[in-house]
């Protein structure tokens, strides 16, 4: 059996992170072990009772026993934590899940973390660089592509620009970049 490649983040996929952040725990709420959480995700199903989350730098596993909203914060209660003192030790810790815990997507959908690290080529097969970051703007996402010299190019993530994404080949094909004033 071939050896699996493990990246620096500790996962078995080349561009896949070992953990994904769901939010940050804030302060204890009440005396029975609830703690408030600032939410960083739209996938609230990952925070339902019965789900296991990983907390803090040690990624210690906790099972969620109950949740409820308090304004913009989600109050969490964990199995086995019944008082304020114990739950207070988790204050300011990040809450994680493994990518394998994410719900499956349709064939047309891709998680952001799957795009990071893709090799980007234009339609003439010119290597533009590696997708390093996804910037979320009001209108559309923008992909930050960095070439081998460290130069950066921003490409809007719109249908006219992004022609193909092939996760198996770890490649993205984009329309030819035309710079203002070019060809005049």
pLDDT number for residue 16: 62
Question: Could you say which of 45, 70, 101 is where a domain stops?
Answer: 101
What are the tens digits of pLDDT across the range 163-182?
Answer: 999 988 999 999 987 766 55
pLDDT number for residue 114: 86
Q: Find out whether 21 and 96 touch, Cβ atoms under 8 Å.
A: yes
Examine the domain organization and report whether 167 and 128 are in the same domain.
yes
pLDDT number for residue 10: 40
- The CATH number of residue 94's host domain is 2.40.30.60
Tokens read off for 130: 């590696």
CA dist., res. 162 & res. 173, Å (int): 6
pLDDT band at 183 (very low <50, low <70, confident <90, very high): low
Burial group, residue 23, by CB count within 10 angstroms (0-12, 13-18, 19+): buried
pTM over 0.75? The answer is no
**Structural domain harbouring 89:** 20-101
- The CATH number of residue 117's host domain is 2.30.30.240
Total domains present in the chain: 2
Question: Could you say which of 75, 101, 127 is where a domain stops?
Answer: 101
Query: DSSP of 82-98, one letter per residue?
Result: -SHHHHHTTTT-EEEE-
Q: Would residue 67 count as lying in a domain?
A: yes
Nearest Cα to Cα of residue 121 among 107, 135, 131, 132: 131
Question: Could you say which of 68, 101, 134 is where a domain stops?
Answer: 101
Q: Which 8-state DSSP code applies to residue 11?
A: -
Examine the domain organization and report whether 67 and 87 are in the same domain.
yes
Examine the domain organization and report whether 37 and 60 are in the same domain.
yes
What are the tens digits of pLDDT across the range 58-107?
Answer: 999 999 999 999 999 999 999 999 999 999 999 999 999 998 888 877 87
Greater pLDDT, 112 or 48? 48
Examine the domain organization and report whether 82 and 49 are in the same domain.
yes
């Amino acid at each position: 059996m071939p050896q699996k490649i493990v990246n620096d983040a500790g996962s078995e996929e080349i561009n896949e992170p070992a953990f994904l952040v769901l939010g940050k725990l804030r302060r204890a709420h009440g005396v029975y072990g609830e703690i408030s959480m600032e939410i960083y995700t739209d996938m609230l199903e990952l925070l339902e009772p019965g789900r296991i989350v990983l907390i803090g730098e040690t990624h210690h596993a906790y099972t969620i026993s109950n949740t409820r909203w308090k304004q913009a914060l989600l109050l969490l209660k964990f199995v086995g934590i019944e008082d304020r003192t114990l739950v207070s030790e988790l204050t300011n810790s990040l809450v994680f899940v493994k990518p394998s815990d994410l719900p499956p997507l349709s064939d047309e959908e891709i998680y952001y973390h799957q795009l990071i690290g893709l090799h980007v080529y234009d339609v003439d097969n010119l290597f533009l660089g590696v997708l390093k970051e996804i910037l979320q703007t009001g209108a559309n996402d923008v992909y930050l592509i960095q070439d081998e010299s460290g130069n950066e190019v921003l490409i809007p993530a719109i249908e006219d620009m992004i022609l193909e994404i092939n996760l198996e080949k770890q490649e993205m094909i984009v329309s030819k970049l035309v710079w203002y004033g070019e060809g005049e």
